[in-house]
Structure 1
């Protein structure tokens, strides 16, 4: 019998990966690179961009081979760490398990792009006048929400024994 803990992780992470990959596919095939669709003028657009670097363009200027090696290694290490923490989290810590599953799904979604394309497809563009937050995607959003839940647990709740 499959462990309920694993089933929950697979459901949450699969939902994130599927949503992430479908939205990226729609942007990749339905919008020209660099094109923009205003959704809330002056605040939020869909803009098709490619991020060859990490968060905020980290290592974007390095060769594709270096970026692939570094980001696939880091993503792989991060996913293993998340799986370790997830395994050590008791069933009664539902929100913490959800947060870790969101991080895991987001990491897999972005790692999929890096393996397939050598870059991550981003498209959510939040801005105010000339100030733009770096473009992001569903996987990035899942990672941020998951990290927010994790930080909340670290700051305000007792973490599971041995965490």
Structure 2
């Protein structure tokens, strides 16, 4: 009874959407806690410059402080990334308020959690407010070094792609094919 029937227009609000919003927040909070705890561990265990191989050189734990975005792009624009993370978190929360699909709820919770924890790093870590560096410690070969928030954002984005290709609407039910 909670699912939107296939013959209803996609823009009909789902009564369960607002209830699912609280799950988005719970998932986001879980990601923030796990991410920050793992960063605390990384700083405590790897702060002396050591590296811990997990799967040889393919996956390893190594501590770096990233002032930029993915792949350390834009290192001189840290404050812009703080603003983008804040705007992104607000936009995701606004969109999540209307979601009526469990799959979309999980995906948005993952992305929101990653955005919030990155925003927290930018605001409260050294070298200062709005210019903080993100703690990265999961090395993927010679490609890049990331963290738990990056994994959550990536997983949420992949989920959104899969849900979209499956035709599952954010508000629940299937997207109608009017063609």
| TM norm. shorter chain > 0.5 | yes
Backbone CA RMSD of aligned residues: 1.8
What is residue 139 of structure 1 aligned with on the other side?
149
Higher CA-based Rg: 2
Unmatched runs of 5 consecutive residues or more in structure 1? none
Structure 1 residue 74 displacement after superposition: 0.4
Q: Is 1:154 aligned with 2:154?
A: no
Deviations 1:97-118, CA, capped at 9 Å, x for gaps: 1000100001111111111121
- Aligned equivalent of 2:98, options 88, 98, 101: 88
Aligned residue pairs total 149
Q: Is 1:98 aligned with 2:106?
A: yes
- Aligned equivalent of 2:51, options 1, 13, 36: 36
Partners of 2:91 and 2:48 in 1: CA distance? 34
Partners of 2:71 and 2:166 in 1: CA distance? 28
Higher normalized helix content (fraction of residues): 1
TM-score, with structure 2 as normaliser: 0.77
TM-score, with structure 1 as normaliser: 0.84
Query: Any residues of structure 2 matched to 1:4-19 within 5 Å, and which?
Result: 4-19=19-34
